[in-house]
Amino acid sequence: MSLIRAKGLSVRHGKTTVLQNVTLNIAAGEIVTIVGPNGSGKSTLLRALIGAVETHQGEIIQKDGLRIGYVPQKLHIGPTLPITVERFLSLLCKVAPKAAKSALDQAGASTLMQRQMSDLSGGQFQRVLLARALLGNPELLILDEATQGLDQSGSATFYRQIEELRTSLGCAVLMVSHELHVVMAASDRVICLNGHVCCEGAPEVVASAPEYRALFGSGTQGALALYRHDHDHHHHAHDHKHEDA
Amino acid sequence: MNFLDSFLMRAALAGLGVALAAAPLGCFVVWRRMAYFGEATAHASILGIALALSFSTSIFAGVLVVALLMGWTVSVFSGRGYAMDTLLGVIAHSALAIGLVAVSLLQGVRIDLNAYLFGDILAVSRVDLAIIWGGALLVIALLCWRWNALLTATLSPDLAYAAGIDPRREQMVLTIALALVVAVAIKVVGVLLIAALLIIPAAAARPFANTPERMAYLAAGIGAFSAIGGLQLAFLYDTPTGPTIICLAATCFALTSILTLLRGSNS
């Protein structure tokens, strides 16, 4: 059963084409990871799916009444805005203390309820964002570089938690990540994006695909490969701009 | 309604109304770093005053229209090659300059510009009072109605989109509220000090608030205290009322800041 489907999606920022003819389909309960170099449109794709970016062409079809839990890439809450974790979790609809507590437990942030959001560390902050997304009992969890600012073991733990959540809640997960080696292990399906869908499939299939190797090199050190790849694959016509990490 | 016969009572009620509406809005101004936006809207309202005088309409209407126009212009042009503060600087100061020139060209009208720049709270009439409270209640109602959506859009536009809230619409709500507050506050503190009435109570409330709501209530309390207290001090010492109100608010800010520093060094 398809939860969300994008067909022939194109997005432009001004005159720059960020996404071109992207088609994807997320089925219930699967973990799909989008990988791609900086500026490849990963975040834009997620933001288009939640309706934050205007699409130029194509369409997005959601299952009726689809409940999406969205964990944004980075969210800066400055010290001018006082807000406790408890209040943040009840942002749009009042949440019972018990539900808030159990969401924090699930996200691995049990002890943070009364803390100020601006005092949290990067990892704690992401967990609270995850807890907030879980409160809506989502069928689809969308995470945009959720482990930014976490060290390697921290992000490995985070992804393990996502996998456990998928098992316990039965929700599908769509996420974007830079950390190829970590993500590859946790995903059912990987979509390699570079303005367009370069290749997709099971992690091991994608890892050995020539398009993927052209982008990331053949080593497992994906982060290193991001520096090295030189955008010389000419199998598509559009003039997508790349930036190195 | 005999008690409205006293100009001091009318002044106190006018100050209270503006302070109560400005405080919660001021919190959003502080959270969203819109301080300059507030300042710019207030300055642009001089053009509204000039237009109102030349068309013989109410100052309130003239200011409201110009403030809304400015908000709309800024939102249309922002993100198109100009930084927000550049855009605001251009529009606000142009409007201010055009307004000042227009006022000087008005024939047969001798106006006391001081009254508009610094407020004239002691001259508040019953009609003014009705307009001030009407506008203030409208702003409070608007903010209460959109509170959670505004807060979400302030925390993260993307979170808002994901929850089906359009952050651009919430920005518009704030622009409208800001235009209303500027329009009703001119009589009370004047063009130059409106932004202060928005920002200072909110900033003074910040150290003692742990939730957004608490900050808004505290700011309202500090604003109301400054308005009433400032009015009495001004009467006692024969000082200009608007600036005295702001001085009292600034004193509150200084006190809460010092208390925070002391608390911080103890722990």
Cα distance from A86 to chain B (closest Cα, Å)? 9
Please report the DSSP string for chain B in residue order: -GGGGSHHHHHHHHHHHHHHHHHHHHHHHHHTT-HHHHHHHHHHHHHHHHHHHHTT--HHHHHHHHHHHHHHHHHHHTTSSS-HHHHHHHHHHHHHHHHHHHHHH-SS----HHHHHH--GGG--HHHHHHHHHHHHHHHHHHHHHHHHHHHHHH-HHHHHHTT--HHHHHHHHHHHHHHHHHHHHHHH-GGGHHHHHHHHHHHHGGG-SSHHHHHHHHHHHHHHHHHHHHHHHHHHT--HHHHHHHHHHHHHHHHHHHHHHHHHH-
- Report the greatest alpha carbon distance in chain A: 55
Q: Which of residues A158 and B29 earns the better pLDDT score? A: B29
Q: In chain B, what residues touch A83 (CB-CB under 8 Å)?
A: 155, 211-212
Cα distance from A236 to chain B (closest Cα, Å)? 30
A72 in a domain, yes or no?
A: no
pLDDT of residue B1: 54
CA atoms within 13 A on the CB side of A218: 3
pLDDT of residue A32: 92
Q: Judge: A78–B31 Cβ closer than 8 Å, yes or no.
A: yes
Please report the DSSP string for A125-180 in residue order: HHHHHHHHHHHT--SEEEEESTTTT--HHHHHHHHHHHHHHHHHH--EEEEE-S-H
A121 in a domain, yes or no?
A: yes
Task: Say whether both A43 and A150 belong to one domain.
Answer: yes
pLDDT at residue B86 above 60? Answer: yes
pLDDT band at B136 (very low <50, low <70, confident <90, very high): very high
Q: Is A84 on the interface with B (CB under 8 A)?
A: yes
Please identify, in words, the CATH class of the domain defined by B2-191: mainly alpha
Task: Say whether both A166 and A199 belong to one domain.
Answer: yes
Q: What is the CATH number of the domain that holds A211?
A: 3.40.50.300
Task: Say whether both A189 and A146 belong to one domain.
Answer: yes
Considering B107-111, B116-120, B261-265, the range whose residues carry the highest mean pLDDT is B116-120
Identify which of B157, B164, B210 has the shortest CB distance to residue A82.
B210
pLDDT of residue B265: 66
Q: Which of residues B124 and A92 earns the better pLDDT score? A: B124
pLDDT at residue A235 above 80? Answer: no
ipTM confidence: 0.83
Residue with tokens 């900086």: A38
Task: Say whether both A154 and A101 belong to one domain.
Answer: no
Task: Say whether both A41 and A119 belong to one domain.
Answer: no
Query: What is residue A196's DSSP assignment?
Result: S
Question: For chain A, what is the radius of gyration of the CA atoms?
Answer: 18
- Rounded mean pLDDT, B131-139: 95
Whole domain around residue A205: which residue ranges? Answer: 2-67+139-228
Residue with tokens 């110009």: B66
Identify which of B148, B209, B215 has the shortest CB distance to residue A91.
B148
Task: Say whether both A191 and A92 belong to one domain.
Answer: no
CB A190 within 8 A of CB A35: yes
pLDDT of residue B30: 94
Q: Judge: B211–A80 Cβ closer than 8 Å, yes or no.
A: no
pLDDT of residue B208: 92
pLDDT of residue B144: 95
Q: In chain A, what residues touch B159 (CB-CB under 8 Å)?
A: 70, 72, 75, 91
> Residue-wise over B14-36: b if at least 16 C-beta within 10 A, else e?
bbbbbbbbbbbbbbbbbbbebbe
| Residue A195, amino acid | G
A244 in a domain, yes or no?
A: no
Q: Is B35 on the interface with A (CB under 8 A)?
A: no
Share of chain A above pLDDT 90, in %: 21
- The domain locations on chain B are 2-191
Task: Say whether both A218 and A152 belong to one domain.
Answer: yes
- For the record, the structure tokens of A56 come out as 């130029």
Task: Say whether both A61 and A144 belong to one domain.
Answer: yes
- Rounded mean pLDDT, A102-118: 89
Mean per-residue pLDDT of chain A: 81
- Rounded mean pLDDT, A44-68: 89
Q: Is B162 on the interface with A (CB under 8 A)?
A: yes
Identify which of A52, A82, A116 has the shortest CB distance to residue B158.
A52
CB B186 within 8 A of CB B194: yes
Q: Judge: B212–A87 Cβ closer than 8 Å, yes or no.
A: yes
CB A174 within 8 A of CB A26: yes
pLDDT band at B85 (very low <50, low <70, confident <90, very high): confident
A110 in a domain, yes or no?
A: yes
Q: Which of residues B144 and A123 earns the better pLDDT score? A: B144
Task: Say whether both A31 and A128 belong to one domain.
Answer: no
Q: Which of residues A185 and A69 earns the better pLDDT score? A: A69
pLDDT of residue B109: 66
pLDDT band at A241 (very low <50, low <70, confident <90, very high): very low
CB A189 within 8 A of CB A157: no
- Give the number of domains in chain A: 2
Task: Say whether both A166 and A55 belong to one domain.
Answer: yes
pLDDT band at A91 (very low <50, low <70, confident <90, very high): confident
pLDDT band at B88 (very low <50, low <70, confident <90, very high): confident
Cα distance from B19 to chain A (closest Cα, Å)? 20
Task: Say whether both A106 and A146 belong to one domain.
Answer: no
